[in-house]
Amino acid sequence: MNIGKSSLKLFAANATGALSNFTGVVVFNRILGGSLVGSFFLFEAVLGLLSIPSNFGIRDGVEKRISEGTDQGSYLSAALLLKFIPLVGIASLVVVFRGYLNDYIGQDFALMLVGVLFLREYAQLSLSVLRAELRVGETAALKMVRQVSWLLIGVGFLYLDFGVESLVGGLAVGYGLMFVGGWYRVSTRPARPSLSHARSLFDYSKFSFVSSVGGYFYSWMDIVIIGLFLTQAHVNAYEVSWRVTMVVMLFSRALATTIFPQVSRWDTEEAIERIENLLPTVLLYSLLFVVPAFFGVLVLSDEILQLVFQIELPGVGIVLVVLMGEKILQAIHVVIGRSLQAIDRPDLAALATLATISVNLVLNVVLVWQFGLVGAAVATTVSFLVNTALHWHYLRQFLRIKIPFWQLGWIIASSAGMGIVLMILKSSLNISSISWLFAVIAAGVLVYLGIVLVSPSIRNDLFQKFLSLS
């Protein structure tokens, strides 16, 4: 597997999907308004919550065990069976408590949760199997189809006057297409499982389950708590800010997704030196877009939210800045976190996650209650700092990680230079329209690329060396 090419392929597809997601958030906010779109975001938050016990870490267990190359069909069959029972139980609970769920979400969405949950879990499982088969690049188009479908089908349903239900319908169709396409591409065929296969999956998944809980807390717990203390309009404002910052994580996540099965295979082969040579380059590349994005948002946060999304709630610009700063931590974490799991130490990842969950939950409740949206952003950032530091500490116990200080410093300096140019443009121009905003952002991108590519080390060594890795 060529890691560079697979990452670029996954990044290109993710970028297309993210553009669809970004466009959808803009369009739906302008048509439906912040409160109704906020209800959909709460629907997604509950869906994420239900996916934790529905999955119980099985997807990560499948990816790890199948990537090891033995008894692949038996592990697949065991996973299919292990997932079905909790899904049925959770679906039953949703039906029983649908009234409470509908009141919390603000729409009659509870029964839709059941169908979308089944589609989501088995669609995502197919992608885990493809990644385990070292076919990471092939998952790119499937993820893109899901996000593009949400936009296109959602707009189509809106045209037919289905209201906010259009967004749920688009999500369901997207997962349905991912389900069909994913299982059509999977080459591993089910085989008779044994109790030992199920036990092996469970032994890995029970730790991965804790990490998945941490992932949910990171992605959705702030939204859940904002939904308890504030309005659906506040939910929408925070989630829009979150999704803006997630755009810059596309390539970092593509890298982390791509290296997992390869690092897992090298770990099995005891090729530790190859892993140690890979990680510094991947870490640096992971930060290449995130650092300049922080400096850009530091200057243009209010303009982005007001002109593009028509969000003018007090303090939301600060929320966007804090969350973008947090993405610097996440860009590091996605690489070292997946690497720690790939070397078969999900137990240590679980320990780090348990500490983070406690910090996240306590800080979110206290800070959202006291400071609103800004409190949620600070709580998420502090908890993720703890998470990243612990994962780094644990990974350093097994691998030597060399930090490329010079190249990293040049990226920071290039980003700061871009930020200064943006400040000058902002003070001299009247950024009163989306076209002017995008023009200023484009100018900032060109300035950053112009400065960062001056470095021969980054221009030649980093790019060419990474693309040649396999």
User: What is the rounded average pLDDT for all residues in the chain?
Assistant: 82
DSSP code at position 187: -
| Token digits of residue 4 | 């560079």
Question: Between vectors from CA 338 to CA 333 and to CA 339, what angle results, nearest 5°?
Answer: 100
What digits encode the pLDDT tens for the residues 391-438? Answer: 888 888 888 888 878 888 999 999 999 999 999 999 888 888 888 999
Query: Among 3-17, 63-77, 254-268, 355-369, where is mean pLDDT lowest?
Result: 3-17
Question: Between vectors from CA 91 to CA 86 and to CA 97, what angle results, nearest 5°?
Answer: 125
With a cut of 50, say whether residue 469 has pLDDT above it: no
DSSP code at position 433: S
Judge whether 106 and 168 are in contact, CB under 8 Å. Answer: no
pTM of the predicted model, to two decimals? 0.73
Judge whether 51 and 123 are in contact, CB under 8 Å. Answer: no
Q: How far apart are the first and last CA of the chain?
A: 6
Residue 437 to residue 296: CA distance in whole angstroms: 12
What digits encode the pLDDT tens for the residues 321-369? Answer: 999 999 999 988 888 888 887 777 777 877 887 788 888 888 988 998 8
Residue 421 to residue 300: CA distance in whole angstroms: 12
With a cut of 70, say whether residue 120 has pLDDT above it: yes
With a cut of 60, say whether residue 2 has pLDDT above it: no
| Token digits of residue 432 | 């009163």
Q: State residue 25's pLDDT score.
A: 82
Contacts of 154 by beta carbon, 8 Å cutoff, 6+ apart: 24, 28, 166, 167, 169, 170, 171
CB hemisphere CA count around 217 (13 angstroms): 26
Burial class for 419, CB neighbours closer than 10 Å (0-12, 13-18, 19+): buried
Judge whether 83 and 125 are in contact, CB under 8 Å. Answer: yes
Residue 462 to residue 457: CA distance in whole angstroms: 6
Query: Among 53-67, 228-242, 428-442, where is mean pLDDT lowest?
Result: 53-67
DSSP code at position 219: I
Return the number of other C-beta atoms located less than 10 Å from residue 151's C-beta.
22
Q: Would you place residue 103 in the very low, low, confident or very high pLDDT band (cuts 50, 70, 90)?
A: confident
Look at residues 213, 238, 244 and name the one whose alpha carbon lies nearest to residue 361.
213
Burial class for 430, CB neighbours closer than 10 Å (0-12, 13-18, 19+): exposed
What digits encode the pLDDT tens for the residues 185-209? Answer: 887 777 787 777 777 777 776 666 6
What Å distances lie between residue 25 and 77, 151, 238, CA to CA? 38, 9, 12
Look at residues 328, 282, 263 and name the one whose alpha carbon lies nearest to residue 462.
282
Residue showing tokens 């949400």: 150
